[in-house]
Chain A
Amino acid sequence: MESVVAQAGLVLLRDSVEWEGRSLLKALIKKSALCGERVHILGCEVSEDEFREGFDASVNSRLIYHDVFRDPLNWSQSGEALPGGPLGALQAMCRRTDPGPVTIALDSLSWLLLHLPCPALCQALCALSQQHSCPGGGSPAEPVRVLCLLHEELHGPGPLGALSSLAQAEVILSGTMGQASAHILSRRPQQHPTRQTQWFSILPDLSLDLQGGPPLESQPHPEPHTPPVDPTAHMTFNLHLSESERAAKDSLTLPFQFSSEKQQALLRPGPRQATGRIFYEPDAYDDLDQEDPDDDLDV
């Protein structure tokens, strides 16, 4: 993942509601800052304080924050908004003149795409990522890396396709069972596009922890703070037997079980044993034939 993202050009981080990408963006920004690069951030979606949260002082000092969040549409008319609105701010970043390798982070590209026409945005991104020489001339091309956070669900296939085609690398965030993964598609010039999947997690200090494979456990962790719910707590019927109930149940003779008592009772012709008597009233249509119907069988 590191080699792919370290290359210059446009890198799209595509996240979703369930798997957010801002922490990965911040981890990559921290990595660039620690390598000595200057990082320009165009912040549209969260406040500067919230964005800088989690970075330590050495990293924070290398971040240059362009705050579009506070008043993007100039509703407050206070003059604090960046001149030219968000597009002006983006174009101004194309024209900056500081030397050295630079990383530009757009938080987020989705916000810009919802407010600016797609062609203008694509042109600005092209100009930003292919910036080659300083206006002073003579010095060699400086690599510019542009990291963009894009929320996938907000845009149709048209704009997403246009931005994909501009990007040198796309990182699609997803995951399973609490473990985040990044599907990385990278397009280097004159090479086939390569795909790779990397499982990772972001530590609280915003460093990137790359993991080998998907999580090994097949079940999610049981939550330790919730006591297990006892399903037998409020039932309307009884699942258990008391001792006396169990004794009564064991001593019960089943009606069709041929026990020794029953055998004795049948063999002993008791005086109270009344033979069953059948009272029969013949109907008008009954045919009472005294002959044995089996007489003609030759058995």
Chain B
Amino acid sequence: GKLTLLCDAKTDGSFLVHHFLSFYLKANCKVCFVALVQSFSHYNIVGRKLGVSLTAARECGQLVFLEGLKSSVDVFFRAQAEPHPLQFLREADVGNLQPLYEFIREALKPMEDGQAAWRYPVLLVDDLSVLLSLGLGAVAGLDFMHYCRVAVCWEQKGNIVALVHDSGDAEDEENDILLNGLSHQSHLILRAEGLATGFCRDVHGQLKILWRTPSQPAAQRDRSLTYQYKIQDKSVSFFAKGMSPAVL
């Protein structure tokens, strides 16, 4: 029951989302993917490079995929009485994400017949900052993640992986509240940053890993590590700071 927070600053951290998606599908977990940023085919293409077929996973029930781009349009063409996960787009006042939470809970419910076809459930969200852009408040986003933690991490001992963008210098207060609030609740924070000196062809960025155990004191060493990385076609290579093969 762990919450892993992915955040990116001045770079694109979506490679981490693709990694975790293929990782959990290969590990035979039931995955609910709330994909608000890209279409299904985009993730499918990248997933195939990483060795998983999202189409096959969706057909056999291992993957529940909420395609935000397509279904957000459905909200406006449906009868208002029917609940929709992205119902808040239609509401005039400050909404909440309870319908989305109900959708996720329903999707990751253990199967009634008692057969454990999949290992523990996993919720992937890509990404939460988009919800703020769509008019949701930071507290509503935090409440949504709170309830997901209750349902997925605590009740079903599953994991959650969520991506949040760090606005950095842009001084987006709502985003900062969402990011910091989630950071305090996470067990592991992976932060992809662009290099301080700018773009580089051979080193795409830097990854900071911070282990947090919100309630248990951890050993003080090994709490935080920093690696630099380069994204290749089918994998990402990591190396210690300054040790890129291109530099040596």
Contacts and interface: CB of A to CB of B under 8 A. Distances in A.
Interface of A: 17-18, 20, 22-23, 26, 45-47, 49-51, 53-54, 69-73, 75, 110, 114-115, 151, 153-154, 178-180, 201-204, 206, 220-221, 223, 229, 231, 234-236
SS class of chain A's interface: helix, strand, loop or mixed? loop
Kindly state the interface size class of chain B when it binds its partner. 20 to 34
A18 B183 CA distance: 9
Nearest to A179: B220
Given A26-B215, A47-B150, A69-B154, 14 more contacts: A17-B210, A20-B184, A20-B214, A23-B216, A46-B214, A50-B215, A53-B215, A70-B154, A114-B181, A154-B177, A202-B217, A223-B222, A231-B243, A234-B248
Contacts of B154: 47, 49-50, 69-70
A235 B80 CA distance: 65
Nearest to B243: A229
A71 B150 contact: yes
A46 B181 contact: no
A150 B184 CA distance: 11
6 contacts: A22-B215, A26-B215, A69-B146, A69-B154, A206-B217, A221-B221
A71 B212 CA distance: 24
Contacts of A115: 139
Contact of B180 (A17, A45, A203, A236): A17
Contacts of A22: 214-215
B87 interface: no
B147 interface: yes
Contacts of A49: 154
Contacts of B248: 231, 234-236
Given A153-B176, A221-B221, A18 B184 contact: no
Interface of B: 96, 98, 101, 139, 142-143, 146-147, 150, 154, 176-177, 180-181, 183-185, 189, 210, 212-217, 220-223, 239-240, 243, 245, 248
Contacts of A50: 154, 214-215
A232 B243 CA distance: 10
Contact of B185 (A26, A45, A51, A178): A45
B223 A17 contact: no
Contacts of B221: 178, 220-221, 223
Nearest to B173: A156
Q: Which among A17, A70, A204, A235 has the highest number of chain B CB atoms within 10 Å?
A: A17
Contacts of A114: 139, 142, 177, 181
Given A151-B180, A235-B248, A75 B98 contact: yes
A277 B146 CA distance: 96
A69 B150 contact: yes
B87 to A, nearest CB: 14
Q: Which among A46, A51, A115 has the highest number of chain B CB atoms within 10 Å?
A: A46
Contacts of B222: 223
Given A178-B221, A231-B243, A234-B245, A72 B215 contact: no
Contacts of B147: 73, 75
Q: Which among B101, B184, B189, B243 has the highest number of chain A CB atoms within 10 Å?
A: B184
B223 A178 contact: yes
A107 to B, nearest CB: 9
B181 A151 contact: yes
Nearest to B240: A229
B220 A201 contact: yes
Contacts of B213: 20, 23
Contacts of A180: 220
Contact of B217 (A45, A203, A236): A203
A20 B139 contact: no
B67 to A, nearest CB: 24
A221 B219 CA distance: 13
A23 B210 contact: no
Contact of B216 (A53, A110, A179): A53
